[in-house]
Amino acid sequence: MVQGAGKRRHVYLGIDFVLAHTESAACVMAAVHGRLAGTAGAAVVTRGPGVTSAANGLAQASLDRYPLLLLSDGVPQDQAARTAHQRLDQVATTAPLTRWSGRLGHATPYKDVMAAAALARRPPAGAVHLTLDPSVPGDPVHEPVDAPGPGHGAGDVRAALARAQRPVVVVGLDAADLGAPLHAVLEQVGCPVLTTYQAKGAVPESWQGYAGLFTGARIEAALLEQADLVVGVGLDPVEPVPGPWPYEADVVLLHRHPVDTAYFGGRVTLHLGDYETLLLPLLGHLASTWPVGTGTRTLAARHKALDASAPGLRPHDVVRAVQEELGDVPVTVDAGAHMLVAMELWRTDRPGQVLISNGLATMGFALPAAIAAALARPDRHVVCFTGDGGLGMVLAELETVVRLGLPVVVVVFDDAALSLIAAKQQPDGHGGTAAVQYRSIDFAAVAAACGMRAERVHDLPGYERALHVAFGSGGPTLLDVAVDPSAYGAVLDAIRGPRRISS
Ligand SMILES: Cc1ncc(C[n+]2csc(CCOP(=O)(O)OP(=O)(O)O)c2C)c(N)n1
Ligand SMILES: [Mg+2]
C-alpha cells in the first residue's frame, strides 16, 4: 500500500512530472522508470550546469542499457554570438555519454522527439539527448551504426550446442526479462545457470539449476573451469569486472544485437537473432551430463565462502533480516562493499526485482532508483540498500521520497568509510585511512530533518525490531545501521580473489 502516493506530483499532457534535487539523480529516476515501464523515461534540465550535472545519469543509462531521453534548454544559435553566459557545446559535451545527441529545432519537433524516444529504447537501450534550439530546423535523429559481429551459420551453433556435455548458461542483462519461456527451456536442459547482476531473477533463484551470479571474477571459477561450453544469453560484456577470461571452454553468445566479443578471448561465436523465435529454440539443442543438484550445491558453496565472521553487526545479517521480514520485494543496490554481500545473499525468483548499476557501477544510484521503482510499482515497498558514501552523494533526494510519500525503506550500511576502496588499498600504498574514512554522520537525524521516520541502530535485535516497525508502517523510513566492515576483506577475497580485480 502506498501512503499518500500522488502527493505533490504534477501530471501534464499525461506525463507524470517529479521534481528532483540533482540532474544526475533525475536522470537515474527517469531511466529506471523507463526500464521498469518498458518506455523511455524523460528528464528535463536547464542549460549549462544543468547539462554538465546530468553527465553521470547519462552515463548510467547508456552503460546500464536503460532508456532515457534528456531534454535540455540551450543558448539558441541565433543568440550565441552575444551570449557567452552558460554557453557550452552541449551536443558535443554529451555525445560520448549518449547513443545520440542533437538539436531539437522548429522543423519537425514532434517527429524528432518520438524518434529520439524510440532510439533510446531500441536495444541496446541508452541515453539520447535533445537540446532545444527553436532558431534552427533541428538535427535528424539517427541510429548509431553498430559494427556487425562475427556471426556463424545457425548450423555451426546448433552443432556446437549439441556437442557440449557440461554446458553452463550465463544469462545477461539483455535477456533479463524473458521470464517463463527462458526458464522452461533451461529447466528442460538441466545444466547449471548463472545470471549477471542485472539479470538477477531471470531464472528463479529457488530453482535447483540456479548456480549463482556471474561476476567475471573468481567466485564462479570453480564451476566454469569444469564447463566444456559457456553459453551467454543476452550477456553484455559491459557487466563483468575487468580481468582475464581464463576458461578452456568455447563460448557461444546468443544475442539480439551485436556485442563486443573481445572480453571472451579467441574461441567465441556470436549468434544474432530474436530470442523467442530463434535463440530460445536453439538452447533446446543443449544437453547436460552435470550431476543433478549441481546448481544448488554450487550456490551453497558460494554462501559458505562468504560467511565471514565479525565482532559487530555483519552486513550479511543486515541483508538477511530484510529478506526474512519481507520476502521477495523490489530492492535497489548501490556500489560498494555492501553490494557484494547484498547481491550474493538476496534471493529473488522474478526478473526486475533487483536494480543495480553494473555497467557504469556508479555510487548514488540506489536512492533515485528506489524512488523510480516505487513510482513504477505503487503497490509495494521498495528497499534501498546503500553505503554511507553513496547515500552522501544523493542525500537531498530523501526529501523527494518524503514529498512523494513513497513506501521506500532506506537501509544504510553505515561504516563511515568507503569500505570497498579500503579493502582494496595496498598495505604499503599511499593515503591510509585518511583517504577512505569519514567522520560519522547521523543519517537518521538528517532523514528526520527531511521529514522521514528514521532510526539509528547498532545491533541485530535493535535492527530487526526497527525493520518490523518500518515495514508495518508502510511509509518512508530510513534505518541508519552501524555495520562492522571487518568481514569485507574476506568477502572480497571470496568473490574477486586475492588479486582484487578492480571495479
Ligand atoms: C560516483 C562514483 N564514484 C566513485 C566510485 C568508486 N567506488 C566504488 S565503491 C566506493 C566506496 C563506496 O562507499 P560506501 O558507499 O560507503 O559503501 P561501502 O563500500 O562502504 O559499503 C567507491 C568510492 C563509484 N563507483 N562511483
Ligand atoms: Mg561505507
DSSP string for 4-29: STTTT-EEETTEEE---SSHHHHHHH
pLDDT value, residue 453 = 96
DSSP code per residue over 247-300 = --SEEEEEESS----GGG-SSEEEEE--IIIIIHHHHTT----SPTTHHHHHHH
| Cell numbers linked to 135 | 532558431
Q: Is 414 in the pocket of ligand 1 (CB under 6 A)?
A: no
Q: Is the CB of 245 under 6 A from ligand 1?
A: no
Ligand 1 lined by 278 (C-beta under 6 Å): no
Q: Residue 420: nearest ligand to its CA?
A: 1
What pLDDT score does 497 carry?
87
Ligand number, closest to the Cα atom of 55: 1
**Residue among 343, 363, 388, 411 to mutate when testing ligand 1 (max atoms within 8 A of CB):** 363
Cell of 181: 519461456
The pLDDT, as a whole number, for residue 379 is: 78
Report the atom number in ligand 1 closest to the C-alpha of 362: 26
Cβ of 417 closer than 6 Å to ligand 1, yes or no, is yes
**CA 447, CA 44: separation in Å to the nearest integer?**
26
Task: Tell me how many degrees the CA angle 112-29-362 measures, rounded to the nearest 5.
Answer: 110
CA of 11 to the centre of ligand 2 (A): 37
- Rounded (10°) angle between helices 366-376 and 23-37: 40
Q: Give me the pLDDT at residue 276, please.
A: 94
CB distance 364 to ligand 1 below 6 Å: yes
Q: If we measure between CA atoms, which residue out of 92, 294, 275 comes closest to residue 190?
A: 294
Q: What's the pLDDT at 502?
A: 53
| C-beta of 25 in contact with ligand 1 (< 6 A) | no
**Which-ligand-closest: CA of 387?**
1
**Residue 437 Cα to ligand 2 middle (Å):** 8
| CA of residue 389 to ligand 2 center, whole Å | 5
**Whose CA is closest to atom 9 on ligand 1?**
336
| CB neighbour class for 470 (10 Å; exposed up to 12, middle 13-18, buried from 19) | buried
- pLDDT reported for residue 380: 82
Q: What is the pLDDT of residue 11?
A: 83
Question: Nearest ligand to the C-alpha of residue 482?
Answer: 2
DSSP code per residue over 401-458? HHHHT--EEEEEEE-SB-HHHHHHS-TT-SSGGGGTB-----HHHHHHHTT-EEEEE-
The verdict on the CB of residue 488 being under 6 Å from ligand 1 is no
Spacing, Cα 420 to ligand 1 middle (Å): 7
Tell me, in angstroms, the distance from the centre of ligand 1 to residue 385's CA: 13
Residue 69 CA to ligand 2 centre (angstroms): 32
Whether the Cβ atoms of residue 66 and residue 31 lie closer than 8 Å to each other: yes
Which atom of ligand 1 lies closest to the CA of 360? 25
Give SS3 for 209: coil
Q: Which residues contact 110 (CB under 8 A, 6 or more apart)?
A: none
| Shortest-distance atom of ligand 1 to CA 315 | 21
Res 7: pLDDT: 57
Ligand 2 center to 413 CA (angstroms): 6
The strand pair at 354-356 and 229-233 is best described as unpaired
- For residue 421, report the distance from its CA to the centre of ligand 2, in Å: 9
Tell me, what's the pLDDT at 499?
56
Q: How far is the CA of 192 from the centre of ligand 1 (A)?
A: 32
Is ligand 1 within 6 A of the CB of residue 390? yes
* pLDDT < 50: residue spans in the chain: 1-6, 148-150, 152, 501
- What pLDDT score was predicted for residue 3? 32
For ligand 1, is residue 337 a contact (CB within 6 Å)? Answer: yes
CA 430 – CA 427 distance, rounded (Å) = 9
Cell numbers standing for residue 111? 517527429
Rounded Cα gap, residues 180 and 276, in angstroms: 11
With a 6 Å cutoff on the Cβ, whether 361 touches ligand 1 is: yes
Looking at this protein, which amino acid is placed at residue 488?
Y
* Coil, helix or strand at residue 354: strand
Cell of 390: 553513496
- The answer, yes or no, to whether any atom of ligand 1 lies below 6 A from the CB of 91, is no
